[in-house]
Amino acid sequence: MRPGGSRPDRTRGERQSNEGKLEFQGLVTEALPNAMFRVTCETEKLDVLASISGRMRRFFIKILPGDRVTVEVSPYDPNRGRITYRHK
């Protein structure tokens, strides 16, 4: 950083913890506008409205209906989540 900068230094590698988050495997059933997807979870009979995580967006990972994905869901609202991984 340049001398005199006002932003605090951030150490690389520190990430927000995933405590309290639930992870499910699911199948993308529908692609919706604004990069949202409807995912049906395999273990729980749960229909989740999910968006793409920031890292997947950054590396331009494409998600299509029929893909198997890992969805991270908040325990407070199990109907919304974030797609964190697309399985091959």
* Tens-place pLDDT, residues 10-48: 555 556 667 789 999 999 999 999 999 999 999 888 999
Is residue 75 domain-resident?
yes
**Range(s) of the domain holding residue 69:** 22-86
* Three-class SS state of 63: coil
Query: What's the confidence (pLDDT) of residue 28?
Result: 98
Give the CA distances from residue 60 to residues 35, 64, 67, 74, 84, in Å, rounded to whole numbers and listed in that order: 12, 13, 15, 24, 13
Is residue 7 domain-resident?
no
Whichever domain contains 36, its CATH number is 2.40.50.140
Is residue 16 domain-resident?
no
pTM above 0.75, yes or no: yes
Is residue 8 domain-resident?
no
Q: Which residue has the tokens 């049906």?
A: 40
- Cα distance between residue 73 and residue 83, in whole Å: 9
- Cα distance between residue 81 and residue 52, in whole Å: 9
What is the number of domains present in the chain?
A: 1
Beta strand 47-52 with 80-86 is parallel
